[in-house]
Amino acid sequence: MNVVIIRHGAVDYNIRKWGNSEEVNQDFEAYNHAPIISAKYHVPQGNYMAYYVSSLPRTLETARAMFGDCDYIATDLIDEVPISASVSTKLRLPLVFWNTSSRLQWLFNSKRQKESRKETIIRAEKFVDGLILKGEDCAVVTHGFFMITLLKVMKNKGFAVTGKTSGFANGEFVVAKL
């Protein structure tokens, strides 16, 4: 079984570089619903039996740009790890602070974040178990930060991953074989 895992295309939204907690949460939410920038991406063409996308619109847009009109299976199991402001403040802080502190809270399973690392792993395991059960070649269009957890889970379940395991550019892919 070959699974091609692809990061969605570039999003047409600029998150402000400085903001308070309310502004940052607004930007994170707006980013989730923004369209992608039209571009051509190279992905391995294959005899895919299924095409999976997350429930966030940018993955479906990306999949359509890559594979055309197909029957896509949308699932929130491969949604991006949700992020929210790590503290409530009117103080305007740099985006790098918000991204870093929020991801650290996720890593340490803070209740301040909408989802903990443990919950993300469970979600990824459920998705991978479903893939293994079906046993068919497929393409998965998902999100950069989530891909890190997804690939770790796949490796733990016996997949061999070709390509890097973090720092994915928009439209970049890796192949996992079982």
**How far apart, in whole angstroms, are the C-alpha atoms of residue 105 and residue 108?**
5
Q: What is the pLDDT of residues 71-80, one digit of tens each?
A: 999 999 999 9
Residues of the chain with pLDDT under 50: none
Can you give the residue ranges of every domain in the chain? Answer: 2-18+36-81+115-177
Radius of gyration of the chain (CA): 16
Q: What is the pLDDT of residue 75?
A: 98
Contact assessment for residue 41 and residue 171, using Cβ atoms and an 8 Å cutoff: yes
Q: Is the Cα dihedral 103, 8, 49, 45 positive or negative?
A: negative
Architecture of the domain whose range is 2-18+36-81+115-177:
3-Layer(aba) Sandwich (3.40)
Residue in 46, 44, 43, 12 with CA at minimum distance from that of residue 171? 43
Distances (CA, A) of 168 to 8, 10, 72: 10, 11, 22
Question: Which pair of structure tokens corresponds to residue 55?
Answer: 């429930």
Burial of 167 (0-12, 13-18, 19+ CB in 10 A): exposed
Q: Could you tell me the two tokens for 63? A: 């999949």
Three-state secondary-structure class, residue 166: coil
- Report the pLDDT value the prediction gives residue 53, as an integer from 0 to 100: 98
% helix, strand, coil for the chain, step of 5:
40, 20, 40
**pLDDT for the residue numbered 44:** 83
Query: Would the pTM count as exceeding 0.75?
Result: yes
Q: At what angle do helices 144-156 and 117-134 cross, to 10 degrees?
A: 60
Unique residue bearing structure tokens 């892919």: 173
- The half-sphere exposure of 11 on its side-chain side, counting CA atoms within 13 A, is 21
Instruction: Round to whole Å and give the CA distance between 121 and 107.
Output: 11
**pLDDT tens digit string along 144-178?**
999 999 999 999 999 999 888 889 999 999 999 99
pLDDT of residue 95: 97
Residue 41, pLDDT score: 84
